[in-house]
Each structure stands twice: as C-alpha cells, then as structure tokens.
Structure 1
Amino acid sequence: MKKALSYSNLFVTLNGAYFLEYSRLLQLFKALKNGYSKKTINRF
C-alpha cells in the first residue's frame, strides 16, 4: 500500500512539473506572438 502511495505521489509531481513547463512555454509563445523584445523573452 505504501509503495502504491509513493508511485501516486511521483505521478502527481511529474504532472505538476509538466504543467509548469507547459505554462512557461505557453507564456513564451505568447511573448513571441506579441513580438516582445529579446530582453523580455530572456526572463523565461
């Protein structure tokens, strides 16, 4: 049971990391689309 719980925690952590990365890329894409300067894009 404990092992299953840790696998579940790992899955949630991976999903969270993926979601954060995805939203970061989405922001970068929006910045590119809006034609922001290179300086702004470097923040991501």
Structure 2
Amino acid sequence: MRARAAAEDTKATAWIRALIEAELSAAAPNSTEARLRRLEAAVFEHSA
C-alpha cells in the first residue's frame, strides 16, 4: 500500500481516500460527484 502510494507520489492516507472515493462513485454512477467527474474528464480530454 505505501509503495503504491509512493509510486503515485502521494501519502498512503490520501491514496486510500482516493480508492474509497472511487469505489463510492462507482457504486452511485448518477451521483453529483460521479457526474461531475465524467464531465471534467470529457472537458479536459477534449481540450488537451
């Protein structure tokens, strides 16, 4: 766990939180947060 967090240049607690948030977003695909992430991904992908 710590090695993977270090590989992503983040603290272990932040890495774990990101995993939890990703799981929660996947569990609720129509939540506001999940919709916002998809929108951001689409905007930044097309503007790059």
Same fold (TM over 0.5): no
The TM-score bracket by the shorter chain reads 0.3 to 0.5
Tell which structure's C-alpha radius of gyration is larger.
1
When normalised by structure 2's length, the TM-score is 0.40
When normalised by structure 1's length, the TM-score is 0.43
